Structure 1
């Protein structure tokens, strides 16, 4: 049914759950799996400059995004053949809406069959303040979307 799956990874517990589901689905379907991280330099602006060990916020975001992808690749390659696993780093300089749109556009360009991602399942004030990446992806995509909720351990 699925020939090419895309999973968003950010290093969080919920994204690890989504990655586990994506790997299992890719195995069962003998499908390709693309791991995507959406780096956002603006997230690093809240850090005091003395804590930033890179020359810029963008360098910090790219470094962290690549580290997340490295770990996700190791996990995926333990279960899937190397030729079936791909990785991609996207860079968004605005908020959640741009991050989600970049992911959706990339999934469309790559002709993926499904997007898989984790969600914290926030509600109320936290949802209002932080927004919802998963909800925004859901509104922007026409592809099937598998959302894996946090198991409460995070």
Structure 2
């Protein structure tokens, strides 16, 4: 069974659902969980400057990423697991760069399974927004557990 799971978290309900699945797997196999958030400062550039409470876009992305990781860590601890590590990655380009950062980090850490959630977009939304999970799948040689959002999470 798996001894080291890397779980991508982004603060969404879908991400939390994937984390819960990862916790169940980790509990069954006594595995270590590494929580990873990939911060993307360019996502903050669309915000109006008056909403920025940080000196830079990267600072805002890192601050929010750390909040996501802290919340996820608490969820893992509440599930009764103690072997958990948090790691924040910063990717400045786009979804492909973010996915590659995640895959490279999981490889470097010797992960045996990569876990992430997906919103399961299709049609026009998939064309416009792409699929982070699909991009990870294309770039990773690791086993990948992708948890789709529940129906009410899509609405």
TM-score, structure 1 normalization: 0.97
* Alignment correspondent of 1:126: 125
* Alignment correspondent of 2:85: 86
SS at match of 1:46: coil
Superposed CA RMSD: 0.7
CA offset at residue 79 of structure 1? 2.4
* Alignment correspondent of 1:21: 21
Structure 1 segments of 4+ aligned residues over 6 angstroms from their partners:
none
Could you list the runs of 5+ residues in structure 1 that have no partner in the other structure? none
- Residues of 2 paired with 1:50 and 1:15: CA distance? 29
Could you list the runs of 5+ residues in structure 2 that have no partner in the other structure? none
Count of residue correspondences: 153
- Residues of 2 paired with 1:91 and 1:39: CA distance? 5
- Residues of 2 paired with 1:50 and 1:60: CA distance? 13
- Residues of 2 paired with 1:97 and 1:53: CA distance? 28
CA offset at residue 125 of structure 1? 1.0
- Residues of 1 paired with 2:79 and 2:20: CA distance? 10
Deviations 1:24-82 (A, max 9, x none): 11001100000000000000000000111111100110000000000000010122443
Aligned pair 1:115/2:114, yes or no? yes
